[in-house]
Copies of this chain bind each other. A is one copy, B any other.
């Protein structure tokens, strides 16, 4: 150790300190951070695999261990640009001799880069899910998926809002707000479990994926409504209708135009002679659709999912899956570890009885509300429970609700904490529950196509 320090002194003395030094340190720190994320995600995944638990649960827990509820090695400050965890301060000060201001700069740049990689991770995950899906099969279960989505939004919203108003004597606005936060399913976890268990192409898998996409769109609409309600006290019907129209135009347009465009891409790819001739055009397509989806007010993942869906239909679909797999293997764990790292167990205050009972109620409604979707399925051959369980995880959209609520006086802190606890619990119970339910019924479930 002392030799290394001696050497550092020496290098600090002889090396030229340029303007780009912070950026150079940024590269070092990112290499370390990504290596750490890779390492803990693999350890977590392997431990869970040995315990017959889903690997994604291991990646989530690995994130918790290094995240804000654990070692503070991976922390996301979301806006507080002066915060610097002690362990980072020590590291950047002792190892790189950075003063406080530069250390904060390096830390925040690194945090933002990892956050960006995590976003790209979930975009690519849904691109792969799209590739593994089948447009015809998805349309075949379309009505059922639509029903599942609507029931899965309506039941938790109604139960949650009314329960808080009548059971807990809460005012209207925070009750509606909490009810809305219960609506949007987060598709990442379920998609990963389905993929790992080779169940994406079952009827249940396709219903869940289809419902989650519709659900995501409904979630965005509800978010817009509630955000407007909480800020202005009004609901603008125009906005709702416009958002719904935009979503439908985007999805239909992306698929119709995408089908033509993807054939054009494939015919171009067939003429190309240089390396990366299939993967790069495919990812340009996925990234641009993700961008457009985001621009029109939807989530990026809806765009990349649509891109995967139309590319899966082309003659290059199978080849593309093989090429995308290693890229997905690399970047998707970053997403799940980040989800875990952002999980703030500090939101749970065991001394606040009222808060805990609200949280318990919201969690119950969150689970029951999505399990209720099983009842909306008429096909008796289906593993209905699996569909319900698959819809349980809440995530990003719920967290956006929490952050809106935190910035608004009319929503009490206990509701924010309860929403966060609901997200944590639904995220962490789903992988095991879903894999259990799928395993039990795997022989009975209707597999559309053998793989």
Contacts and interface: CB of A to CB of B under 8 A. Distances in A.
Contacts of A228: 14
Nearest to A329: B276
A16 interface: yes
A34 B287 contact: yes
Contact of A284 (B38, B109, B120, B403): B38
B274 A239 contact: no
Contacts of A227: 14-16
B31 A283 contact: no
A27 interface: yes
A276 B330 contact: yes
Contacts of A112: 23, 26, 109
A55 B23 contact: no
A284 B329 contact: no
A28 B15 CA distance: 37
A76 to B, nearest CB: 10
Nearest to A240: B14
B27 A275 contact: no
B333 A276 contact: yes
B13 A333 contact: no
Grouping DSSP codes into helix (H, G, I), strand (E, B) and loop, the A interface class, with mixed when no group exceeds half, is: helix
Interface in A276-297: 276-277, 279-281, 283-284, 287-288, 290-291, 294-297
A280 B333 contact: yes
Contact of A239 (B10, B50, B300, B400): B10
A49 B231 contact: no
Contacts of A284: 35, 38-39
A19 interface: yes
A442 B14 CA distance: 44
Nearest to A50: B273
A244 interface: no
B330 A274 contact: no
Q: Which of A16, A223, A231, A272 has the most B CB atoms < 10 Å from its CB?
A: A16
Interface string A382-410: 00000000000000000010011001000
Contacts of A231: 16
Given A18-B407, A45-B275, 5 more contacts: A14-B239, A31-B123, A42-B277, A324-B326, A327-B330
18 contacts: A10-B238, A11-B296, A16-B231, A18-B403, A18-B404, A20-B403, A24-B294, A26-B112, A28-B295, A31-B300, A32-B287, A32-B288, A35-B284, A35-B287, A42-B274, A46-B274, A276-B330, A324-B326
